[in-house]
Structure formats: C-alpha cells, structure tokens
Amino acid sequence: MALLTVLCYPDPRLHQVAKPVAQVDARIKKIVADMADTMYEAPGVGLAATQVDIHERIVVIDVSDEQNELRVFINPEITWASPEKKSWREGCLSVPEFYDEVERPAQIRVKALDLEGKEFEIEADGLLAVCLQHELDHLQGKVFVEYLSLLKRNRISQKMKKRAKELVGQR
C-alpha cells in the first residue's frame, strides 16, 4: 500500500490536462491500487490521477456506504448527458473542508476501460453521476471551485494559500 500526496488547490498542476492511457499494464494497475488506497485513507469517494500529480486519464470511485465497491475508469469519456440538471453539494480532496453547490447534468453515460483494458459503458445518476463528472473535470484540468463565483473562488484560494504557509511553518 502506497499513499500518494494529494495536490491542493490552487496548485497549478491541478490545471494540467491528463493524457490518455496508452496501455493498461502493471504500471497502471499499481497506480490504480495506490490511488484507491489514497482515496479510502483520505477518506473520499473519488480521486482522479491529476490530483496525485499523475497526468493520465485514470479515475477511481467508490460511492458505496461500506466503501467496498471500487470502480475504476481508465480513459473515461462522457458520451451523453441529460438536459435535466441537478444541484449537489460538492467537496474535493484537493480543496479540503470547502463545500458548495454545483449544478450538473442529472444523468450521464460514460464509456471507459476497466483494469483489464476492456471497454465498458455505464449510465449513472445521483451521487455516482456527480462524482464521475467531478473527477472527469479534474482530468480536464478543472477544479469544482471554478463553477463558483469569482469572489468565492478567490476567497477559497486565499484560505488554501494561507493554510499551506501555516503547514510549512509548523515543520
């Protein structure tokens, strides 16, 4: 088990666009395992590779109550989104302790590769749809706070920078 360091907003590396995974091999499986360990330890319900400074299209998600239903999405892509929107209170491991409402499509369809490199497609709604959209945004270099007003975004950015300075000062 290897825990990875989660980048914190406003780190510019969070804005890098992830590249497609060329081949699902042992290296990718190790990254997935380490990402899952990191997500569960945090604790969180989703983690994109971008958040741990790996700029490849990999997402792990577990929205189950028992946190025992890991889902892996390699090279995920939204192929359909409902016109109906729904607002959810979102948080993020890269923006700890900050939560806000974000409006997104209520239902989506996603195609991706699994850990064996086989393509699959799922339809999602509820928390899974929100989580998938949130994590796929990370792969595009977008953090959920970018859906908020400029005032809120700047306030969060300043608080995160202050927190980072305080942590460095404690070492």
Residues of the binding site for Fe cation: 92, 134, 138
Q: Is 116 one of the annotated active-site residues of the chain?
A: no
Indicate the annotated binding residues.
Answer: 92, 134, 138
How far apart CA 73 and CA 160 sit, in angstroms, is 29
Alpha carbon separation from 86 to 39, 83, 90, 98, 106 (Å, rounded): 25, 10, 12, 20, 5
Look at strands 85-92 and 46-48 and give their pairing.
unpaired
Catalytic residue among 101, 121, 123, 135: 135
Q: Which helix (H) or strand (E) holds 149?
A: none
DSSP code of residue 50: G
Mind telling me the catalytic residues? 135
